[in-house]
Amino acid sequence: MILEKNPCTVHETGESRSYRLAPAQPWVIRSARTAVKGLKMDIQSVGIVGAGQMGNGIAHVFAVAGFDVLMTDISQEALDKAVALIAKNFDRQVTRGKITADVKDAAMARIKTTLKLADVGQTDLVIEAATERETVKQAIFEDLLPHLKPTTILTSNTSSISITRLASRTDRPEKFMGFHFMNPVPVMQLVELIRGIATDEPTYQAMLEVVRKLGKTAASAEDFPAFIVNRILMPMINEAVYTLYEGVGNVKSIDESLKLGANHPMGPLELADFIGLDTCLAIMNVLHEGLGDTKYRPCPLLSKYVEAGWLGRKTQRGFYDYRSEVPVPTR
């Protein structure tokens, strides 16, 4: 497919550019695909779109693994904050003896930032790590398309949205994958690899090799709503919220029950605050709408917290109030 400008639409990302899909001549599509056929996918540079919690963690692990990293965001403040946090996390690893100071310095030198989304188009691998809203993700990929190298692989760190649907809005669905890291990225070992219906084998193998170089473990998932981890985890969190909503237990008793009774390192409500209640709600909505089963209906209390702007740790209030030294349950 080729893209045609539509100046009437304004995306949620704050950028004024927007696109609508226009039918392409068949020979144009064949030409684009023929140009990359047979080329070895040697990934050395990585472009990361989004400098938030996930984006800066992904930049961290790629830099320390020896990849050149270019991170972009619509806010210079967000980029500066991300780089500062990455440096702080590297210092923590040095203090704990996990890496040396020389490794830290080399990794930081590999991380560059830019406010221009087009700049990341010239990297070998693009990882979209923006907010979990399909319209935002589609806008990013559409804006990127005119600036991509023929060999660039596109991926999304989405935790629930259809990879096939995202890929269909690009000119290279065969070179598009879900690349879902767990939070916090430097600590968690697993990466979910999700193929869309058109993803080809060379792309999949290239991403397996990237995961290996990162020192992480890949889990291959089919393109169903929420994939593997969140298909299991989010309904558990949602059920914990229902347990709170129905008065079966309070925040403290629910979390302690799972920590002490099921040996979970974090209680489900504490974990929800860590993930972000807006993210939890978005994933539950994807599950509910995508699978059409009432067992995935988001708890009304979860929706109410999000409406109130109580999103967890990132807003200082969620199921716990984090404004004091010791978090205090809010219910």
pLDDT tens digits, residue range 187-239?
999 999 999 999 999 999 999 999 999 999 999 999 999 999 999 999 999 99
180 is catalytic: yes
Give the pLDDT confidence of 20-29 residue by residue, as tens digits: 444 433 333 3
325 has a pLDDT exceeding 80: yes
Q: Return the pLDDT at 55.
A: 97
> What helix, strand, coil percent values describe the chain, rounded to 5?
50, 15, 35
Catalytic pick among 142, 230, 238, 270: 230
- Going from the C-alpha of 163 to that of each of 83, 128, 184, 246, 324, the distances in angstroms are 29, 12, 22, 35, 40
Q: Return the pLDDT at 40.
A: 56
- Angle of the 277-291 helix axis to the 229-245 helix axis, nearest 10: 110
Q: Return the pLDDT at 7.
A: 39
Q: How confident is the model at residue 19 (pLDDT cuts 50, 70, 90)?
A: very low
Q: Which domains does the chain show, CATH number per domain?
A: 39-221 (3.40.50.720), 229-329 (1.10.1040.50)
Helix/strand/coil for 134: helix
- Angle of the 300-307 helix axis to the 229-245 helix axis, nearest 10: 90
Catalytic pick among 132, 142, 192, 270: 192
Residue 69 pairs in a beta bridge with: 46, 111
Catalytic pick among 142, 157, 180, 270: 180
15 has a pLDDT exceeding 60: no
6 is catalytic: no
* Lowest-pLDDT choice from 33-37, 63-67, 193-197: 33-37
Catalytic pick among 157, 159, 160, 238: 159
Helical residues (DSSP H) of the chain, grouped into ranges: 26-36, 53-64, 76-95, 101-110, 134-144, 163-167, 201-213, 229-245, 251-261, 268-275, 277-291, 300-307
Q: How confident is the model at residue 2 (pLDDT cuts 50, 70, 90)?
A: very low
pTM over 0.85: no
Q: Return the pLDDT at 42.
A: 87
Q: Return the pLDDT at 31.
A: 32
230 is catalytic: yes
* Residue whose tokens read 């060379």: 202
142 is catalytic: no
Q: Return the pLDDT at 10.
A: 37
Rounded distance, CA 269 to CA 252, Å?
9
Rounded distance, CA 8 to CA 218, Å?
41
On the CB side of 324, how many CA atoms lie within 13 Å of its CA?
Answer: 7
